């Protein structure tokens, strides 16, 4: 671990009841990089992602061992406020989940619950977030419309804008394009390339081409273990392990 590392995971184990879902993961993630997490269904990649902003805290009977250091500070330290962690590590879910509020209120939500009251500030931040999420031009004339009226791809970009509005440092994305058509997927992928200038992005994907296209580093998970972690170029051309190669070349999964 060195000072450039945004997130350092140390010997992380995640248990759900008696079952261990994530096994002894150690990984260092540098700032302003896109990290793709790949692996077959049920390999624990989503579970791992959710340990990074303590979303698993919500699951009854879940237990975490090990450390997740965010800028060197363990987010599982009892002194640390989970609300603070989640504001620093934002998340976009697999299934876009806009709230049935107006487009504007969706983006303003994080600010409002964070106690921001200044109207001008909120309006400014809403516009900026929507621009950053490449959605502004499409919705600027109908910010008061219910967000549920947006198309699937727009909804997912709205969720990204909503996450950006509170200016997190890290953005976790759990298969953000899996429910989108190719055009919408392309938009989200382009967006991720833009966003990495400001954010560290960790993205779970079941789509290997997508991981190859958008990520700087790739982590391959299997059966809850981190099998291999390397630069994407290296990983997709000369993987260290045979099983990684087999997965990448589509021999199973």
Partner 1 sequence: MKKSILSQRLGFSLLTACTAAVVGFLAIILWDIVTKGAGSVTWKFLTDAPRDGMTQGGIMPAIVGTFFATTITTVLALPLGCCVAIYLNEYAKDTAITRLIRVTIRNLAGVPSIVYGLFGVVLFVQGLRLGTSILSAGLTLGLLTLPWTITASEEALKTVPASYREGAFALGATKWQAIYTNVLPYAFGGILTGAILGIARAAGETAPILFTGAAFYLPFLPRSVFDQFMALPYHLYILSTQHHQIEKVRPLAYGTALVLLGLVLGMNLIAVIIRYKIRKNTKAV
Contacting residues toward partner 1, per CB under 8 A: 53, 55, 58, 60, 83-84, 86-87, 90-91, 93, 95, 97, 99-100, 109-110, 112-114, 146, 148-149, 159, 162-163, 166
- What's the min distance (Å) between Cβ of 125 and partner 1? 13
C-beta closer to partner 1: residue 34 or 55: 55
The CB-of-150 to partner 1 minimum distance in angstroms stands at 9
Considering the complex, state which of residue 109 and residue 136 has its C-beta at the smaller distance from partner 1: 109
CB of residue 99 to partner 1, shortest distance in Å: 6
Which is closer to partner 1, CB of 1 or CB of 83? 83
Q: Indicate the residue among 55 and 208 with the shorter CB distance to partner 1.
A: 55
Tell the smallest beta-carbon distance from residue 84 to partner 1 (Å).
7
**What is the closest distance, in whole angstroms, from the C-beta atom of residue 97 to partner 1 in the complex?**
4
CA proximity to 71, closest of 250, 200, 206, 222: 200
Q: How far is the CB of 179 from partner 1 (least distance, A)?
A: 13
Query: Which ranges constitute the DSSP H helices of 147-231?
Result: 152-164, 182-195, 208-214
Strands 217-222 and 89-92: unpaired
Residue among 47, 39, 46 at smallest CA distance from 63: 47
- Smaller CB separation from partner 1, 23 or 178: 178
Nearer to partner 1, 2 or 60 (CB): 60
Task: Give the C-alpha separation, 133 to 164, whole Å.
Answer: 8
CA 97/CA 116 separation, integer angstroms:
23
The single residue listed with the structure tokens 């400014």 is: 124
CB of 88 to partner 1, least distance (A): 9
* Selection from 49, 55, 18 nearest residue 221 by Cα: 49
Break the chain down into helix, strand, coil percent, rounded to 5: 40, 25, 35
Structure tokens at 121: 């500030």
Residue 145 token pair: 């419309």
What is the dihedral sign for C-alpha 60, 51, 69, 176?
negative
The tokens of 100 are what? 């049935």
Nearer to partner 1, 162 or 206 (CB): 162
**DSSP designation for 133:** T
């Amino acid at each position: 671990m060195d000072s450039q590392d945004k997130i350092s995971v140390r010997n992380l184990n995640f248990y759900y009841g008696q079952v261990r879902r994530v096994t002894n993961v150690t990984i260092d993630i540098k700032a302003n990089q896109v990290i793709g997490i790949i692996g077959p269904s049920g390999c624990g990649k989503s579970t791992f992602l959710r340990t990074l902003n303590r979303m698993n805290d919500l699951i009854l009977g879940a237990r975490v061992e090990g450390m997740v250091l965010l800028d060197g500070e363990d987010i599982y330290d009892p002194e640390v406020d989970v609300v603070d962690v989640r504001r620093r590590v934002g998340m976009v879910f697999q299934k876009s989940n806009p709230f049935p509020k107006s487009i504007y209120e969706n983006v303003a939500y994080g600010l409002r619950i964070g106690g921001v009251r200044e109207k001008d500030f909120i309006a400014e931040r809403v516009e900026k977030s929507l621009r950053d999420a490449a959605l502004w031009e499409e919705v600027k004339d109908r910010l008061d419309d219910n967000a549920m009226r947006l198309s699937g791809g727009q909804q997912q970009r709205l969720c990204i804008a909503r996450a950006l509005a509170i200016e997190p440092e890290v953005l976790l994305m759990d298969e953000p394009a899996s429910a989108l058509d190719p055009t919408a997927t392309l938009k989200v992928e382009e967006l991720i390339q833009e966003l990495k200038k400001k954010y560290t992005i960790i993205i779970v994907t079941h789509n290997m081409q997508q991981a190859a296209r958008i990520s700087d580093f790739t982590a391959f998970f299997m059966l809850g273990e981190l099998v291999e972690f390397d630069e994407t170029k290296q990983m997709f051309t000369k993987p260290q392990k045979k099983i990684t190669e087999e997965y990448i070349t589509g021999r199973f999964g």
